[in-house]
Amino acid sequence: MSKKRESILNHAAKFACCLMLVCGVSLTTPHRGPSGVYGDVNGDAVVDVEDINEVINVILKKPHGGEREIVVSEEELTFTGEVGGVYTQSLTVFGKNLSGVVSAAVMGGDGTFDVAPSTVTLAQVEAGAELTVTYAPTSAGSHAARLQLTSDGAPTVTVMLSGTATQSGNVSTTTYTANGVTFEMVTIEGGTFTMGGTPEQGTVNETLLPTHQVTLSSYAIGQTEVTQALWVAVMGSNPSYFNEYGNPDYESYHEGTYYTPNLRRPVERVDWDDCQEFITKLNALTGETFRLPTEAEWEFAARGGNKSQGYMYSGSNVLGEVAWYDGNANTVGSPDYGTHTVATKAPNELGVYDMSGNVWEWCADRFGYYSSDPQTNPTGPATGPYRVFRGGCWARVAGNCRVALRNYAYPYVRSNGTGFRLAK
């Protein structure tokens, strides 16, 4: 390169660097690069057209007038409400010197919080974009999450979300404790219902027919499936495939940690006899008389008892509102694959969770075909090789999650889609 050309490029590069300083733009590498040569931006010890182009490109890509910044109207949003309710608050987002969209995402909270829209344009944030943050608690207690707002080149802004939910007044629950782990039982008032393949259940097979009238006395049923936490408290070990560390298959597809330890998933890989052993030990610890629900008790509770609205699934005709099933929990390699924390979907009319989906649930009864005769407090056949389980699971299609659908297996069968809930 001639000395004259080198001198021109050197002055051009210095001018470009000065222009950057005036515009408030900085490069990842300093304008006096690693070579120590002023204007050598890319560090190759030569001041040339590449250095000038890099400076100009940075200037053109970044708006002038200061640092990129996201500004929010609130740094914390607090909600209160009842389980099953939906509560919203508005959050205004402004942008300074941004070059693209602002993305909004809720981190944590087990689905209790949501935000819409998930992205807002540059024009919207310059005028003040309004986001709607939703709190939809599915379990009583305190909930917390973080709303993170991001845009290229701007520092991430975090809005803290907190909520407190109480159980609605029409649900009667009793709390029990075993070795420090608490769980709730919901009182089910006795009544009469039609059991089996009623019209809203769609196409049914012979195991759901004939429909018949069943009358039940009052009883109690677990508000959730038996959790791994309760099982470990009673039995001392965890048989579950999707254990406290989440999905063991996830690490084979992605790097990083799937979940922090969480024992609030339902216990699974337990057979019918395992459930009986657990119940015997639980009753010894608590002095109570827990048991598996009969098949009729299970279906009556799943249908919503005396408060039933006639849904196809337990609590809704829209399965995704109330259940983890094939449509939202069976994508291999996804962090959503497998079982989920209990009570993260909406409850049914009685305040009972996950009677559709998550895991199949063992019942006390042996399997037998229905009779058209009316029955009172039925307990199933006296003999037979199979035990009934109900409700569908995370890996099964929607039809398996209907409240009338029956399934059965040998009592020694275990799977990562089968657990149980208590009755009393």
User: According to the model, what pLDDT value does residue 258 have?
Assistant: 41
Q: What is the pLDDT of residues 380-414, one digit of tens each?
A: 999 999 999 999 999 999 999 999 999 999 999 99
In this structure, are 84 and 111 located in the same domain? Answer: yes
In this structure, are 25 and 76 located in the same domain? Answer: no
Q: Residue 165 corresponds to which amino acid?
A: A
User: According to the model, what pLDDT value does residue 286 have?
Assistant: 97
Asked whether the beta carbons of 323 and 358 are under 8 A apart, the reply is yes
User: According to the model, what pLDDT value does residue 30 have?
Assistant: 41
Asked whether the beta carbons of 125 and 94 are under 8 A apart, the reply is yes
* Strand partners for 149: 104, 157
In this structure, are 186 and 329 located in the same domain? Answer: yes
Q: What is the pLDDT of residues 310-345, one digit of tens each?
A: 999 999 999 999 999 999 999 887 778 899 999 999
**Residue 345 is assigned to a structural domain of this protein:** yes
Look at the block and give the residue holding tokens 């299970």.
298
Asked whether the beta carbons of 299 and 195 are under 8 A apart, the reply is yes
State the DSSP string of 7-71: HHHHHHHHHHHHHHHHHT---SS-SB-TT--BT--SSSS--SHHHHHHHHHHHHHS-SSS--EEE
In this structure, are 108 and 206 located in the same domain? Answer: no
Q: Is a pLDDT exceeding 80 seen at residue 82?
A: no
Q: Is a pLDDT exceeding 70 seen at residue 260?
A: no
- Among residues 132, 166, 200, the one where a domain terminates is 166
**Residue 424 is assigned to a structural domain of this protein:** no
**Residue 161 is assigned to a structural domain of this protein:** yes
- Among residues 166, 181, 216, the one where a domain terminates is 166
Choice between 247 and 32, residue whose per-residue pLDDT is larger = 247
In this structure, are 183 and 290 located in the same domain? Answer: yes
**Residue 92 is assigned to a structural domain of this protein:** yes
In this structure, are 96 and 206 located in the same domain? Answer: no
In this structure, are 185 and 119 located in the same domain? Answer: no
In this structure, are 254 and 300 located in the same domain? Answer: yes
Measured CA to CA in angstroms, residue 170 lies from 142, 221, 341, 351 at distances of 20, 16, 24, 9
Q: 3-state DSSP helix/strand/coil percent for the chain, to nearest 5?
A: 20, 30, 50
> What is the number of structural domains in the chain?
3
What does DSSP say about strands 418-419 and 360-366: parallel, antiparallel, or unpaired?
A: parallel
Choice between 95 and 20, residue whose per-residue pLDDT is larger = 95
Asked whether the beta carbons of 299 and 390 are under 8 A apart, the reply is yes
> Hey, what are 213's tokens?
């009238």
In this structure, are 273 and 198 located in the same domain? Answer: yes
E strand intervals along 101-153: 102-107, 113-116, 119-120, 129-135, 141-151
Q: Is a pLDDT exceeding 60 seen at residue 15?
A: no
Most confident of 24-28, 113-117, 373-377: 373-377
In this structure, are 100 and 160 located in the same domain? Answer: yes
For 258-347, where are the alpha helices, taking DSSP H only? 272-286, 295-302, 319-322, 326-329
Q: What is the pLDDT of residues 113-129, one digit of tens each?
A: 999 999 988 888 888 88
Report the predicted TM-score, pTM, of the whole model to 2 decimal places: 0.63
Look up the domain containing 162 and give its range.
69-166
**Residue 32 is assigned to a structural domain of this protein:** yes
Q: Is a pLDDT exceeding 50 seen at residue 21?
A: no
**Residue 375 is assigned to a structural domain of this protein:** yes
**Run of H or E residues at 126:** helix 122-127
What does DSSP say about strands 173-178 and 181-188: parallel, antiparallel, or unpaired?
A: antiparallel
In this structure, are 147 and 293 located in the same domain? Answer: no
> Residue 275 — left, alpha, or beta (φ > 0 → left; ψ -120 to 50 → alpha)?
alpha
Looking at the chain, the whole-number percentage of residues with pLDDT higher than 70 is 79
> Residue 256 — left, alpha, or beta (φ > 0 → left; ψ -120 to 50 → alpha)?
left
- Among residues 166, 193, 224, the one where a domain terminates is 166
